[in-house]
Amino acid sequence: MRLMVSGGGTGGHIYPALAVINQLKKNDPNTEVMYVGSKRGIESSIVPQLGLPFEALEIQGFKRSLSLENFKTLYLFLKSVRIARKLIKKFQPDVVLGTGGYVSGAVLYAAAKMGVPTVIHEQNSVVGVTNKFLSRYVDKIAINFEAARRQFPAAKVVMTGNPRAQEAVNAPADFSLSRFGLKDDVATVMVVGGSQGALRLNQVMVDALPTFAQRDYQVVFVTGPKRFDAVSAELKKMGTVANVAVQPYVDNMPAVLRKLSAIVGRAGATTLAEITAIGVPSILIPSPYVTADHQTKNAQSLVDQGAAVMIREADLSATTLVSAIDQLMLDSSQRDKMAQASKKMGKPHAADEMITILKSVTHDA
């Protein structure tokens, strides 16, 4: 298969795309891939490092208010469509996959207008602007949350889950908490505010640390790389806490998840895909700074199934956080129930499901 992929801006758009690519190449080493991203998105550094052919377009999003900048946005979109057409003619893909972000709008629109089979993947429960626009033109739409189904043309929608889930399930199971200076045979909770950390959560964790020091369970506190030094400086004032490990970043999250009794974090689509694929009880603190408050809706889907507890950031304090964590970490039967509910929601074959859809829309299907 010759696959062109476009998605960018955030890891939530990039990592599902990479999961599909990795599974395709695993199934068929002769698979040829071209990734089209944006110049300013993190994909411009992530994708080339993986050795994948990469083309970058200059593009930006529309401002929600009236702005002269929107004229530039329209110009860049039309320019990107023209460049995308040239790339498609050159690469001759069998199918084009879009995973979100403004750049995928130009690429998938160009492909659809050229009669090339197209598929988009929507990771969140609230449909993004780009995928909503593309839904009129593409052949198939893969979703991760049932709540997204009614926001698309019904005949095009297929539930696949998030391809990142399959990578999480297949991750090595040999990780040891000793790498954090902790014990493997003690119940452990991780608190993490996303890849960059979350300022409010970090502040609350610093306040809660003396309480956690009195607990029998262990805590891994992931601050985010940019916030690590500031948090470490605060924690030094308290001295060493044997049952708490502070880390700037965790780069092998699926492997680490297997060693956790519970996790506290944001409710991004990739995070939830990993959590449910492995079956980890969670306390979710949705980011209030995302479009259409979609993380709250993502989190609610787990809460409704008994797989998670939600704390809104407005209600977050050292008291509410410690209380929620204690309820889980001091009650193994409750954790077991939530773990089972979480795993029932998991999509361990999501990447394979996506590949099936990609093949179904090709002209050779």
Q: Annotated binding residues, as ranges? A: 10-12, 124, 195, 295
Which residues are documented as binding site for UDP-N-acetyl-alpha-D-glucosamine? 10-12, 124, 195, 295
Instruction: Read off φ and ψ for residue 220, nearest 5 degrees.
Output: -105, 120
Q: How far is CA 240 from the centre of its chain?
A: 33
Cα dihedral 38, 42, 43, 45 sign: positive
One-letter identity of residue 351: A
| Pairwise CA distance, residues 106 & 312, whole Å | 35
Angle of CA points 193, 197, 201, to nearest 5°:
55
- Classify the C-alpha dihedral 234-237-238-244 as positive or negative: positive
Please name which of 92, 78, 94, 99 lies closest in space to residue 164, comparing C-alpha atoms.
99
Task: Report CA 327 to chain centroid distance, whole Å.
Answer: 27
Give CA–CA dist 73/345, Å, rounded: 39
Asked if 48 and 36 touch (Cβ cutoff 8 Å), the reply is no
Q: In terms of Cα–Cα distance, which of 195, 140, 184 is closest to 10?
A: 195
How do strand 118-122 and strand 95-98 relate by DSSP bridges? parallel
CB atoms within 10 A of CB 86: 11
Q: Is 293 left (phi over 0), alpha (psi -120 to 50) or beta?
A: left
The Cα 19–Cα 204 span in angstroms is 34
**Residue carrying the six token digits 């003619």:** 89
Report DSSP letters for 56-82, one per residue.
EE---PPPSS--THHHHHHHHHHHHHH
Evaluate whether 48 touches 78 at the Cβ level (below 8 Å). no
Contact 222, 190 (CB under 8 A): yes
> SS3 of 211, please?
helix
